[in-house]
Amino acid sequence: MKIADRVQQIPPSGIRKFFEIAEEMDDVISLGVGEPDFTAPWAAREAAIDSLKAGKTSYTANRGMRELREEISKRVSTQYDLSYDPDDEILVTAGASEGLDVAFRALVDPGDVVAIAQPSYISYVPGVTFAGGEPLPVATREEDDFKLTTELLSAHGVADADMLVLCYPNNPTGAIMTAEEMAEVADFVREHDLTVLADEIYADLTYGDDHTSIATFEGLRERTVVFNGFSKAYAMTGLRLGYAMAPPQVISAMNRVHQYTMLSAPTTAQYAALEALRSCDSEVVEMRKQYNRRRQFVLSRFSEMGIDCFEAKGAFYVFPECPWDDTDAFAEALLEEQGVALVPGHVFGDSGEGHLRVSYATGLNELREAMARIEAFLG
């Protein structure tokens, strides 16, 4: 059978390729996956089980259960100073991934230029390409702590783009942006009449400054789609639940794509998410504390080894410089000789070249062992 050109032109995920090698080996410590090692809070799991016991196995409303949309609306208004109407400004999706895909398909016309702050999560470029748009990478730099600046936006010609995709706290660098820094990006976006897709899936995972959403700046709510979900902060990756927030006409357009592809997000997961928002905040606080301990440990160990590593303050990644020129060769040799898996930074865009993504969503004991093995490898 013929495979569509737009699919053939997308290479397989660089992360998966690497993990296929790791899966064949014994005694591998993986610092490669972007997935919490924690289990979803018990109350959320119990709510999912109870919903099944009660026979809640039907579709929900296309946009998601009303109660859940209300709870999401309440949460973002108290925590992030954003106000969205549960009736027509929130769409519950099968993970933030589905939300992003639906947004690209609903908002991007063939030939539209979509600027993507990179290094970035691996789905944005394929998502834009599948929608017929043209990705425009905007390379952030270690010297700016991988933040997006108006200088970079201008230098990459984003003034003439149609859309800007940004992700802070960032995967893969762990970078965050302060309110002042985000305000400058917001000014640029307003001035050049851009639409923004803000992937805020790591919003709850910052260590120091709280997260500021770009949608909170004047005139930005009208032109931004905010994405969030339960995979990271609530350790619910397998339940596949996320949400998008935007003005009514945008949510309505996204819902048109969503209703013909997903129909509604998984019902059982929606019950779990509802309970997560209602009663699981203390677990999120505890997980964040543990991530922060691990982050400090990993940063201090890289520093002891003489490896340059910028101080990541969000998500659960650090992004050290690779001690070898060839990052693929380094990652492969480290995996083969010491059984430690990490991801070469170029997988996240050319601007990630020369770095490695190290996930600390792994227990402290395993991290200790992994760092000792990296030290032995370098020694």
Residue from 40, 163, 201, 265 binding ligand PLP (CB under 6 A): 201
Query: Could you tell me the strand order of the sheet in which 163-167 lies?
Result: 90-93, 242-245, 224-229, 195-199, 163-167, 113-118, 134-139
Binding pattern to ligand PLP, positions 23-42, x when CB under 6 A?
-----------x--------
- Specify the amino acid at residue 239: L
- Closest approach, Cβ 202 to ligand PLP, in A, equals 7
Beta bridge partners of 17: none
Given the complex with ligand PLP, which of 229 and 266 has the nearer CB atom? 229
Residue 286 CB, shortest distance to ligand PLP, in Å, is 21
Backbone angles phi and psi of 52, in degrees to 5: -70, -45
Pairwise CA distance, residues 327 & 356, whole Å = 7
Binds ligand PLP (CB under 6 A): choice among 60, 171, 206, 359: 171
Nearer to ligand PLP, 82 or 361 (CB): 361
For residues 96 and 254, which CB has a smaller minimum distance to ligand PLP in the complex?
96
Instruction: Give the residue with the Cβ less far from ligand PLP, 84 or 317.
Output: 317
64 binds ligand PLP (CB under 6 A): no
| Residues 180-199, interacting with ligand PLP (CB under 6 A) | 199
Q: Using CB under 6 A as the criterion, what x/- string covers residues 85-124 for binding ligand PLP? A: ----------xxx-----------------------x---
Kindly state the smallest distance separating residue 240's Cβ from ligand PLP, in Å.
7
CB of 169 to ligand PLP, least distance (A): 9
The yes or no reply on residue 242 touching ligand PLP (CB under 6 A) is yes
Q: Determine if 48 is a binding residue for ligand PLP (CB under 6 A).
A: no
Which residues between 268 and 307 bind ligand PLP (CB under 6 A)?
A: none
Cβ distance to ligand PLP smaller for residue 101 or 301: 101
Q: Give the 3-state DSSP-derived string for the chain, with helices as H, strands as E and coil as C.
A: CCCCHHHHCCCCCHHHHHHHHHHCCCCCEECCCCCCCCCCCHHHHHHHHHHHHCCCCCCCCCCCCHHHHHHHHHHHHHHCCCCCCCCCCEEEECHHHHHHHHHHHHHCCCCCEEEEEECCCCCHHHHHHHCCCEEEEEECCHHHCCCCCHHHHHHCCHHHCCEEEEECCCCCCCCCCCHHHHHHHHHHHHHCCCEEEEECCCCCCECCCCCCCHHHCCCCHHHEEEEEECCCCCCCHHHCCEEEECCHHHHHHHHHHHHHHCCCCCHHHHHHHHHHHHHCHHHHHHHHHHHHHHHHHHHHHHHHCCCCCCCCCECCEECCECCCCCHHHHHHHHHHHHCEECEEHHHHCHHHCCEEEEECCCCHHHHHHHHHHHHHHHC
Our finding on whether 167 is near ligand PLP (CB under 6 A) is yes
Least distance from ligand PLP to the Cβ atom of residue 45, Å? 17
At closest approach, how far in Å is the CB of 60 from ligand PLP? 17
Joined together, the tokens standing for residue 26 give 């014994």
Closest CB 378 distance from ligand PLP, rounded Å: 28
Whole-number minimum distance, CB 238 to ligand PLP, in Å? 9
Position of minimal CB gap to ligand PLP: 95
Alpha-carbon distance 164 to 196, whole Å? Answer: 5
* Residue of 36, 133, 229, 345 interacting with ligand PLP (CB under 6 A): 229
Please report, as a single letter, which amino acid is at residue 316.
F
**Residue from the set 79, 149, 150, 237 that interacts with ligand PLP by CB under 6 A:** 237
Least Å from the CB of residue 197 to ligand PLP? 11
**Which is nearer to ligand PLP, 51 or 171 (by Cβ)?**
171
Residues that bind ligand PLP (CB under 6 A): 34, 95-97, 121, 167, 171, 199, 201, 229, 231, 237, 242
